[in-house]
Amino acid sequence: MDLGLFFAAIGALFLAGLVADQLGHATRLPRVTMLLLLGLLVGQSGFDLLPETATDWFEPLSFIALTMVAFLLGGELTRENLVSHGRAIFAISLCVVVGTTVIVWGGLTLLGLDPGLALLLGAIATATAPAAIADVIHQSGIRNGFSETLSGIVAIDDVWGLMVFSLCLALVHPFDGWSGPLMIVALDIGGAVLLGAAIGFPAAFFTGRLKPGEPLQTEAIGLVFVTAGVSIWLEVSFLVAGMTAGAIIANVAQHHERAFNEIEHIEWPFMLLFFLLAGASLELEALWSLGWLTAAYVALRVVSRILAGEVGARLGRVPAIERHVYGPALLPQAGVAVGMALVAAEAIPQWGATIMTLTVAATVIFEVVGPPFTLMALRHVQAREADREAPKE
């Protein structure tokens, strides 16, 4: 590797990310969308300005950036948040996962797709983009019941999605029996929960002791890297491990007011590079290669999110002003979906090309257009709450 080129490219990406961030503020678009578009412009589908080795940076960077997000999302699962919004979090997340699977599967089957392939695509459609949604919430500065519930949903919905995906894969791929994918997901998620607990409980006691009441930046970085590294080594979900550790620290550590202040302070440079390189790795050609199937899949996922989000919101008894916006707020989709697609493509090679191409195409669309809908939902609820609280003449 040419170190000069490496450092120059990293520096240029930081500066470009700063420009994209400012453009996001000026246009009132989420900075996630601006960073993805900029990455798309300089990446392989655009002017191809990045070094060939740039794609090699994406995987290790994504592990660190997403583990930071996982810690922050886990930190939202406090006793207070679960007491206030627990019913809504579980009702909406489960309804959206099940509803998305059923509606996408049913719609694609009615359009003539093989029911087994349609079922796998429906399960893959359940995945969201926790990093994008978390960053939009953070950028908006909005802190209310809706944003807290949305953070809780994003923290657990991919866990439900992985379970549903493994179940669907077992149904479609019966010659491997039920034990194969179900055992894999049990080990992946169960092992991640145990790892998160093994890191979270000691961290809850020891962090913040050197400087009372204030966890040090070194502690935050150390926890993130250890969690990501051990998760990869043990081949368990680093997202679930990070969320588990984050939730334990937030609930058990009584000597912190905010256990993850320092992660919030250091995460942005990692997230900036993550979103830029995510945009650079997107393939526009995938959008057109399947034609009507891409359009149908995207439309069905949008419809399923809106309908299932509405049902879940009613079951969760959320305030009326929030009921219609959970579905649109949960549109972003990213890496977890691609991971599911890779597993499905490996298990059933004859459908591999269709599954991968369609998932990548949907990721391009939902990663770019999804975050603006999340931001619109946050602002809509905030505006409605302000109108309701304004004194009447």
Closest by CA position to 58, among listed 119, 10, 125: 10
Sketch the domain layout of the chain as residue ranges.
3-383
DSSP 8-state code for residue 336: H
Q: Give the predicted TM-score (pTM) of the model.
A: 0.77
Write down the pLDDT at residue 353.
78
Average pLDDT score over residue span 198-222:
76
Closest by CA position to 278, among listed 135, 101, 122, 95: 135
Its sign, for the CA torsion 267, 86, 325, 311, is positive
The tens digit of pLDDT for each residue in 41-52 reads 877 777 777 776
Average pLDDT score over residue span 216-239:
85
Confidence of residue 326 (pLDDT cuts 50, 70, 90): very high
Percentage of the chain with pLDDT > 90? 20
Instruction: Please spell the DSSP secondary structure of 114-132, one letter per residue.
Output: -HHHHHHHHHHTT---HHH
Write down the pLDDT at residue 176.
47
Confidence of residue 314 (pLDDT cuts 50, 70, 90): very high
Would you say residue 393 has pLDDT above 80?
no
Q: Residue 369 CB: number of other CB atoms within 10 A?
A: 14
Write down the pLDDT at residue 92.
93
Write down the pLDDT at residue 128.
87
Options 1.20.1530.20, 3.30.390.50, 3.40.50.300, 3.40.50.150; CATH for 3-383 is 1.20.1530.20
Range with top average pLDDT, 52-66, 235-249, 271-285, 332-346: 235-249
The tens digit of pLDDT for each residue in 182-192 reads 666 677 788 88
Lowest pLDDT segment from 59-63, 225-229, 389-393: 389-393
